[in-house]
Amino acid sequence: MTTTSKGTALITGASSGIGAVYADRLARRGFDLILVARNGERLRKLADRLAGETGRKIDVLVADLTHRQDIARVEAVLRAGSGITMLVNNAGVGATAPLLASDIDKMDEMIALNVNVLTRLTYAAVPGFVARGAGTLINIASIVAVSPETLNGVYGGSKAFVLALSQSLQHELADKGVRVQAVLPGATATEFWGIAGLPVQHLPSEIVMTAENMVDAALAGLDQGERVTIPALPDQAEWDAFEAARRAMSGRLSSTTPAQRYRTAAAQA
Ligand code: NAP
């Protein structure tokens, strides 16, 4: 049991799955916790267990992050909490149906939670981290951020946003003492799949990781200073090459003249 506090970590979506494992692991690492989700009963049960097992201070903040007033309460806690040293932006929902089989209102709700809420909470926490010269932001994206063909395209797009925002923040906050990690889990055995319309039992078992292994790998990546962690990717060099190609190309994406292949007669006129 750790006795020195590492400050307080606020975890969204802590009532189940990946978020609940983050709660367990971070409490054991010495963080006090603020656990956020809708299901207060589950949160309180987890908080009681972790407080008993680790001696840490574990608070529960019941909030539906699709409700404006509830988001505002969580934002206020993040803004006011000088003891908050980590935000885990984990709450999210997915979908497995293709675009034409999906309800636009459900897609809109998904964007609201996966994109808008994550952005608002980031804006609430990061200025304090910068002012204090320390803090850690963990954004739970997904492998669909770089493989949008895999599931529902709006879900993939929402997670591509999480990855791009994280990379932009890494760039912007590089010399401010703030760590930003994007985690890209592959299929992970949680309730996510049933809620998204395809229970996890229907996936080939060889591609499914336990939430415990996923979170332990992600925290190992954080300890190693990784900015983007893909727990299942066997060879880190593959991601590094992908990133290097992207960064190299970024210097050639803007110019006064169109590329040679687009210089048609009309474009010359
Ligand atoms: P999960 O077990 O369904 O957990 C989702 C969490 O988000 C729950 O704690 C849920 O709690 C909370 N949540 C959902 N809607 C909410 C709302 N409106 N307000 C507040 N909290 C809300 O699924 P998970 O797999 O752990 O998902 C966690 C994150 O991992 C998500 O961002 C997901 O996109 C990402 N991810 C999952 C997988 C996977 O294969 N499982 C793969 C890649 C990425 P309440 O219901 O109590 O509110």
What tens digit of pLDDT does each residue of 179-222 get? 999 999 999 999 999 999 899 999 999 999 999 999 999 999 99
Instruction: Give the mean model confidence (pLDDT) for residues 120-137.
Output: 97
Instruction: Give the mean model confidence (pLDDT) for residues 143-161.
Output: 97
Instruction: Give the mean model confidence (pLDDT) for residues 75-91.
Output: 96
Q: How far is CA 158 from CA 80, 111, 121, 204, in A?
A: 28, 6, 16, 24
Judged against a pLDDT cut of 80, whether residue 1 lies above it is answered with no
Domain 8-268, architecture per CATH? 3-Layer(aba) Sandwich (3.40)
Residue 39 CA, closest ligand 1 atom number: 47
The encoded tokens of residue 196 equal: 């998204």
Q: What is the mean pLDDT of the chain?
A: 96
Give domain limits for the chain.
8-268
Q: End-to-end distance of the chain based on CA atoms, in angstroms?
A: 74
The whole-number pLDDT of residue 221 equals 98
Residues with a CB atom less than 6 Å from ligand 1: 13-19, 37-39, 63-66, 90-94, 113, 140, 142, 185, 187-188, 190-192, 195
Helix, strand and coil percent figures for the chain, each rounded to 5:
50, 15, 35
Residue 165 contacts residue 119 (beta carbons within 8 Å): yes
Contacts (Cβ under 8 Å, ≥6 apart) of 139: 89, 118, 122, 162, 165, 166, 180, 181, 182, 183
Instruction: Give the mean model confidence (pLDDT) for residues 169-173.
Output: 96
Enzyme catalytic residues: 155
DSSP readout, 98-119? -GGGS-HHHHHHHHIIIIIIHH
Which has the higher per-residue pLDDT, 264 or 93?
93
- Ligand 1: distance of its center to the CA of 132 in Å? 30
The whole-number pLDDT of residue 82 equals 84
Convert the pLDDT of each residue in 9-18 to its tens digit.
Answer: 999 999 999 9
Specify the amino acid at residue 53.
E
Residue 231 contacts residue 213 (beta carbons within 8 Å): yes
Contacts (Cβ under 8 Å, ≥6 apart) of 69: none
Instruction: Give the mean model confidence (pLDDT) for residues 11-36.
Output: 98
Check: pTM over 0.75? Answer yes or no: yes
Q: Over pLDDT 90: what percentage of the chain?
A: 94
Pocket test for ligand 1, best of 66, 140, 203 (most atoms within 8 A of CB): 140
Pocket test for ligand 1, best of 12, 18, 143 (most atoms within 8 A of CB): 18
The whole-number pLDDT of residue 3 equals 60
Q: Which residue has the tokens 């669909």?
A: 144
Residue 17 contacts residue 191 (beta carbons within 8 Å): yes
Q: Over pLDDT 70: what percentage of the chain?
A: 98
Judged against a pLDDT cut of 90, whether residue 162 lies above it is answered with yes
- Ligand 1: distance of its center to the CA of 133 in Å? 30
Judged against a pLDDT cut of 90, whether residue 5 lies above it is answered with no
- Ligand 1: distance of its center to the CA of 111 in Å? 13
Judged against a pLDDT cut of 70, whether residue 2 lies above it is answered with no
Judged against a pLDDT cut of 70, whether residue 59 lies above it is answered with yes
Rg (CA), the chain: 20
- Chain centroid, CA 40 distance in Å: 22
- Ligand 1: distance of its center to the CA of 186 in Å? 14
